[in-house]
Amino acid sequence: MTMRVSGMVSGLDTDALVQELVSAYSTKKDNLVKAQTKHEWKMDAWKDMNSKIYSFYTKKLSNMRLSSAYSAKKATISKTSAATVSASTSVANGTQSLKITKLAKAGYLTGAKIAAEDGGRLTASTKLSDVKGMEDLTAGSKITVNGKDIDITSDMNIGQLVSKMKAAGVNASFDENNQRFYINAKSSGKDNDFSLTAATDSGINVLKALGVFTVNDADKAAYEKYANLSDDEIVALKAKTAAAQYYTDASYTEKLSKQNENYQKQIEDITKSAENITKQIEKLNEQRANDVNTEDDIKAIDEKIAKLNKDLDTANENIAKAQQLIEDNNEYLNDPDKLSAKVVELNADIDSKVSDDIDSKVSAARKALLEGGSTDTSGDGAVRIVGSDSEIWLNGARYTSNTNTYSINGLTIQAQELTGNDEVTINVDTDVDAVYNTIKDFFKGYNELIKEMDVKYNAASSGSYEPLTSEEKEAMTEDDIEKWETKIKDALLRRDSTLGNVSTAMKNVMLKSYDVNGTKMSLSSFGIKTLGYFSAADNERGVYHIDGDSDDENTSGNTDKLKEAIANDPESVISFFQQLSTDLYDTLTDKMKGSTLSSAYTVYNDKQMKTEYDSYKSKISDMEDYLQDKEDYWYKKFSAMETALSKLQSSTSSLTSLFGNG
């Protein structure tokens, strides 16, 4: 950049002169900036318009092409308390009969009232051993929820037991206010019911003490599996069960070899961990030797080292244990005689455990069946509701479900109340209001869009208004600036050919007739039309009105042909509007297809406009560079003039001084 010298010698306002000399170029740059700004505003105006067109296209037209969009069926029931009903468009109009003979229920257990051994109240943190009846809790006691065993220990509390029940697949809770357990199946229906049993006498005692001992049909079946076995059947079951668990020399060898592989993998993993710990200790020792450490630093480092040494000792202990286990297994793997003797010992132990287990299950099952048949009528005992399926009869056909909801041939029934042998009627008919409102909503969206397009297209000219420069804005108020820019923005799409083409294409579709069962129909066939060129307000000549529409002050007093047509022949109405909306959808699809100038689903040339915007940016940059060069040129000229004048002034002063001294 040229050094800018003010007119100190010449007395000229150099800056003002330079700006005047380059003003033509400055004006050209300002005009480019204004053009770019106006172009950007037009891009924004088109983005907004395209968004509205696309929204109408996807949210209105897309669905209107489908028969399912018209919600054409309405189902009513003669006894509303019995069930709720709804119908899809596929259900034939007419009357159907319904009986509800059973309602689906979820299995539910309300536990008996229980108490603490000391007479106090039980809470979630109360240990089971402190529950009355659990003081002699037998080691190894188990209860079974949905086939999953839960070990009952003396140090377990009520809250922990509830958590284990939930993990087994039921909803469970303990109500501290009522001192009862509540257990229920997660879903309704017979097949979704839960089971709560015990396989030992001590387990049965646990269920009793917790107030949840009942024997329903499902539990009874589980117990009868063992309770009804004869002595010979028990012996046979023990033999069969034990035989399935017996080891052979080969199978036990395979088990030990597999264990050794796992132990060796553990040793390798722990060794790597120990090596990492050792490196951390070495690094900390290096830090400890640093002279800048304070006493607190050393203390903190020593604490870390101590913890790591403890971790290292644990790691080494685990390695030693794994190595010992490998050695123990190798003692059998390397000595066939010892291996065979061990197999005999293990199988004898299996014989004993299986025998005890089955004897325990038989005893518990017989105890459960014997003691679970009594009924507590006091209201304080356990109450079990068995999960059951629902049952309905529709038009004489029987249906069952594990819920109370049925979907039958397009009809949805939510059973709520038993009807016994009394039949209720379901009436299916055309939902005139639903179809009418769907069509009305379509026209609301269409009218809003077409009016918006006409307002933009027919906008008043902005005349000579152009975007303001920063200097021009400084001389105006904020209110004046807003009015100025609004004048320009309102006219950005005025007489836009693209907008006009889209609007005209949509209006032409709305004027078409379509064949419906051999009859040509148009919108006027249903009392839907515009108000006419001279009757409609400005920019509302493309807006449609429905005769008889109570919300339309222009046509509310006319005969409602649309509603009458829907009531008399809904299929024809739906067919017409499906054809109309499909045609309009296809028309907009064609207008929105992508090209080298526009993106997909865009009615205007957005790519082209972006290229033009970038071109303005390039031209402005070039003009700014050119303007800078011109300013530098003139400042250089004035600088040379100032230098020459300064030298002339200096020479003149010297001569004056010389003659003066003479």
Q: What is the pLDDT of residues 163-215, one digit of tens each?
A: 999 999 999 999 999 999 999 999 999 999 998 988 888 888 899 899 999 88
The dihedral of CA 156, 159, 162, 164: what is its sign? negative
Task: Give 514's pLDDT tier (boundaries 50, 70, 90).
Answer: very high
Distances in Å between the alpha carbon of 198 and those of 128, 144, 360, 455?
A: 17, 6, 10, 80
What integer is the mean pLDDT of 103-115?
Answer: 93
List all residues 6 or more positions away from 343 whose beta carbon is below 8 Å from its beta carbon. 247, 248, 249, 252
Q: Residue 281's pLDDT band (boundaries 50, 70, 90)?
A: very high
**In this structure, what token pair is assigned to residue 252?**
């036990």
CA-CA distance, 71 to 64, in Å (whole number)? Answer: 11
Which pLDDT does position 374 carry in this prediction? 47
pLDDT of amino acid 80: 95
Q: Considering only 3-12, 311-320, 356-365, 594-603, which range has the smallest mean pLDDT?
A: 3-12
pLDDT in tens, 374-418: 445 556 788 888 899 999 999 999 999 999 999 999 999 999 999
Phi, psi of 160 (to 5 degrees): -65, -40
pLDDT value for 223: 84
| Stretch 339-350: mean pLDDT | 92
CB hemisphere CA count around 222 (13 angstroms): 19
Say what the pLDDT of residue 201 is.
85
* Rounded mean pLDDT, 617-638: 78
List the structure tokens of 481. 């600036």
- The answer on pLDDT for 24 being more than 80 is no
End-to-end CA distance of the chain: 47
CA 438 vs CA 413, 562, 566: distances in Å: 25, 12, 12
Instruction: Name which of 167, 171, 152, 147 is nearest 219 in CA terms.
Output: 147
Closest CA to 516 of 472, 571, 554: 571
Q: How confident is the model at residue 511 (pLDDT cuts 50, 70, 90)?
A: very high
Residue 576: pLDDT above 80?
yes
Distance CA 603, CA 455 (A): 18
Query: For residue 365, what pLDDT is reported?
Result: 81
- Structural domain boundaries in the chain: 45-68+433-593, 75-101+391-430, 108-240+376-385, 249-334
Residue 183 · residue 378 · CB < 8 Å:
no
Instruction: Please give the residue that has the higher pLDDT: either 469 or 15.
Output: 469
The identity of residue 118, as a single letter, is D
For residue 227, is pLDDT > 70?
A: yes
